[in-house]
Amino acid sequence: MTSFRFAVRALALSLALPATGALCVVGPTSAAVAVGNPIGGRQLAARGVIVNLTPRVPPPPAMPAASFLVADMDTGKILVARAPHERHLPASTLKTLTALTLIPLLDPDKLIMVKPQDVRAQGTRVGIMSGTAYSVDTLLQGMLITSGNDAAYALARGNDSLAVTLAQMNVTAAGLNAMDTVAKDPSGLDKAGQSSSAYDLALIGRAGMKLPSFRRMVSTKNATLPNGMTADGKRKPGLKISNHNKLLFNYAGAIGIKNGYTVAAKFTYIEAATRGGKTYLVTEMSSAQAGWRPTAAMMDWAFAHGASVAPIGDLVAPGKAVPPKPRPVPAPAAIQAQTSAQLPLEPALPFWVGVAGVVGLLALVRARSRRSIARRRR
């Protein structure tokens, strides 16, 4: 009788819990929802190259980047992508976020005194001089045109401090719904925890190109910047700088915007070009191959077939309410096993089915108990 009671209780519990949803596995389900509902559209979660081809449209050219995205910069419609929300190190493409953050905050004519720590920056430098004051506009040109890390640090410090600037950069990214982006260094040099994605770089690049000064700088091929004074008080010759964006020199209609490289990040790009009234934006991350030709081939495909391809998603508007995109957390092995045991998933039973089952089982137990007692009394 005792074993029968335990069996009945176990059976009642097994009916009641699924009916009320108590066996829902929150970990894997939440992760699946986050991956399956990325910002910009569900199709962006697909694997491999994502594109809606028609019989008359050839496949897009191969891209060497681990992740990339191609979008109409005006409408925000995304034509093709691969792993657009995959996080990578951005390298100097992050300078576009630095500029997008600081241009609205700083007077372009404000003078910033360069400090020794600025000129000791690692990586690419413009050549600004310690103890010399440069205008915000000059430093922005040095940062965006020739990717000067020294200029990036001087700007960030001139905006109060690196810490304040980084906090503002992350606020700017969040306002754009660039949820894959975490800024840890205003120059884009590799830092632990720093990241962005092809999707986010498209949001940032698109927003930057709406600022006239930003657009002017990233489309500038060559410039001469004013320089500092020598020890005897004479002004040094101007700093001649050239844009690091090779597409700007080699592709008809190219209008910017920024490239980057570190050993860890590999080659990263944000590029834009305009032809025939259409402007396309291409972003690439973690590319093992340097050079402008793969981007040019993709631009050619977009200009030739973009109007015939159904979009796979959208670059969302700044400030538009979207659900947060938490990082997927792998489920523990025990939970994964439990989840697998429940597949294939079926719709949960209505609550009343579980209750009715429990009530019926309890009635059965009570009836059997009464019969047992009656037999003993006989």
- What CATH number is given to the structural domain containing 56? 3.40.710.10
What was the pLDDT predicted at 22? Answer: 29
Mean pLDDT for 24-33 is: 26
State the DSSP string of 356-371. HHHHHHHHHHHHHHHH
Catalytic residue among 67, 92, 196, 286: 92
Q: Tell me: do 75 and 176 sit in the same domain.
A: yes
Q: Tell me: do 48 and 13 sit in the same domain.
A: no
Q: Which of 34-43, 71-80, 314-323 has the lowest mean pLDDT?
A: 314-323
What's the domain range around 217?
A: 42-314
Q: Tell me: do 156 and 260 sit in the same domain.
A: yes
Reported confidence tier of residue 307, pLDDT bands at 50, 70, 90: very high
In a domain, 279, yes or no: yes
What residues have CB less than 8 Å from 339, skipping those under 6 apart?
25, 28, 331
Catalytic residue among 67, 95, 219, 287: 95
213 included as an active-site residue: no
Mean pLDDT for 30-41 is: 63
For residue 324, pLDDT beyond 70: no
Cα–Cα distance measured from residue 239 to residue 258, given in angstroms and rounded to the nearest whole number: 20
In a domain, 323, yes or no: no
Distance of CA 318 to the CA centre of its chain: 14
What was the pLDDT predicted at 342? Answer: 27
Greatest Cα-to-Cα distance within the chain, rounded to the nearest angstrom: 123
For residue 239, pLDDT beyond 80: yes
User: Which residue would you say has higher pLDDT here, 244 or 374?
Assistant: 244
What was the pLDDT predicted at 28? Answer: 25
In a domain, 254, yes or no: yes
* C-alpha angle 103-218-65 in degrees, rounded to nearest 5: 110
Cut 0.85: pTM above it: no
Mean pLDDT for 261-275 is: 98
Report which of 289, 309, 259, 295 is spatially closest to residue 61, judged by C-alpha positions. 295
What was the pLDDT predicted at 138? Answer: 97
Which residue matches tokens 């891209």? Answer: 63
Catalytic residue among 147, 197, 286, 287: 147
Q: Tell me: do 215 and 81 sit in the same domain.
A: yes
147 included as an active-site residue: yes
State the DSSP string of 152-187. HHHHHHHTT-HHHHHHHHHHHHHHTT-TT-B-S-TT
Q: Tell me: do 7 and 139 sit in the same domain.
A: no
Please provide residue 328's backbone torsions phi and psi, each rounded to the nearest 5 degrees.
-60, 130
Which residue matches tokens 């800024």? Answer: 183
What was the pLDDT predicted at 51? Answer: 98
Q: Tell me: do 56 and 193 sit in the same domain.
A: yes
In a domain, 76, yes or no: yes
For residue 68, pLDDT beyond 80: yes
For residue 302, pLDDT beyond 60: yes
Cα–Cα distance measured from residue 141 to residue 119, given in angstroms and rounded to the nearest whole number: 16
Helix, strand or coil, per DSSP, at residue 355: helix
196 included as an active-site residue: no
| Structural domains of the chain, count | 2
Mean pLDDT for 233-252 is: 91
Mean pLDDT for 45-63 is: 96
Q: Please, are residues 139 and 227 in contact by the beta-carbon 8 Å criterion? A: no
Q: Tell me: do 178 and 279 sit in the same domain.
A: yes
Q: Tell me: do 9 and 60 sit in the same domain.
A: no
Residue 80: Cβ within 10 Å count = 27
Report which of 368, 365, 336 is spatially closest to residue 6, judged by C-alpha positions. 365
Q: Tell me: do 49 and 15 sit in the same domain.
A: no
Q: Tell me the per-residue pLDDT of 95-129, one tens digit each, with 9 for 90 and over.
A: 999 999 999 999 999 999 999 999 999 999 999 99
Q: Tell me: do 16 and 56 sit in the same domain.
A: no
HEC string for 249-294: HHCCCEEEEEEEEECCCEEEEEEEEEECCEEEEEEEEEECCCCCHH
Q: Tell me: do 205 and 254 sit in the same domain.
A: yes
Among 263, 292, 314, give the residue marking a domain's end.
314
Q: Tell me: do 80 and 211 sit in the same domain.
A: yes
